[in-house]
Amino acid sequence: MVATFTAFVGAWLAGLHWASATSALAARFDQGLAEKYLWIQQLTIMPAAELARMDCGLACEMLPEVAQVHVTEDSGPLNTRGLVATYGGDDCLVSFKGSTSITNYLLGDFDILLDRPFSSCPDCRVHKGFYNSWRSLQDETQRALEDLGCDKKPLRVSGHSLGGAMALLAAFQLSEKYQIKEIYTFGQPRVGNEAWVNAFEARMANASFFRVVSYMDPVPHLPPSWLMGYRHVGAEVWYNTTSLGSPAFCAAGQEDCSGQFSVLRCLFHTCDHCSYLGLNPCKPNDPHPACLQGAGYR
Q: Evaluate whether 85 touches 39 at the Cβ level (below 8 Å).
A: no
**Confidence band (pLDDT; 50, 70, 90) for 298?**
low
Give mean pLDDT, residues 55-81: 94
Position 271 confidence tier, pLDDT thresholds 50, 70, 90: very high
Band of the pLDDT at 79, cuts 50, 70, 90?
confident
Per-residue pLDDT, averaged over 92-109, amounts to 70
Per cent of the chain over pLDDT 90 is 73
CA pair distance 216, 260, nearest whole angstrom: 9
CA distance 229 to 296: 36
Most confident of 21-30, 77-86, 93-102: 77-86
Res 297: pLDDT = 78
Average pLDDT, the chain: 88
Query: CATH classification of 30-274 is 3.40.50.1820, yes or no?
Result: yes
Domain ranges in the chain? 30-274
Mean pLDDT confidence for 95-99? 93
Residue 12 has a pLDDT of 45
pLDDT category of residue 2 using cuts at 50, 70 and 90: low
**DSSP codes joined into one string, 180-195:** EEEEEEESPPP-B-HH
Q: Are strands 126-127 and 91-96 parallel, antiparallel or unpaired?
A: unpaired
DSSP the chain: -HHHHHHHHHHHHHHHHHHHHHHHHHHH--HHHHHHHHHHHHHTTS-HHHHHHT-SSHHHHT-TTEEEEEEEEE-SSS-EEEEEEEETTTEEEEEE----SHHIIIIIIT---EE---TT-TT--EEHHHHHHHHHHHHHHHHHHHHTTGGGS-EEEEEETHHHHHHHHHHHHHTTTS-EEEEEEESPPP-B-HHHHHHHHHHTTTSEEEEEEETT-SGGG-S-TTSTT-B--S-EEEESBSSS---EEE-TT---SGGGS-HHHHGGGGGGGG-BTTB-TTSTT--S-S---BTTT-
Mean pLDDT to the nearest integer, 282-292: 95
Q: Is the model's pLDDT at 58 over the cut of 80?
A: yes
pLDDT digits (tens, 9 = 90+) for 227-263: 888 999 988 999 999 999 999 999 876 677 999 999 9
pLDDT above 80: residue 19: no
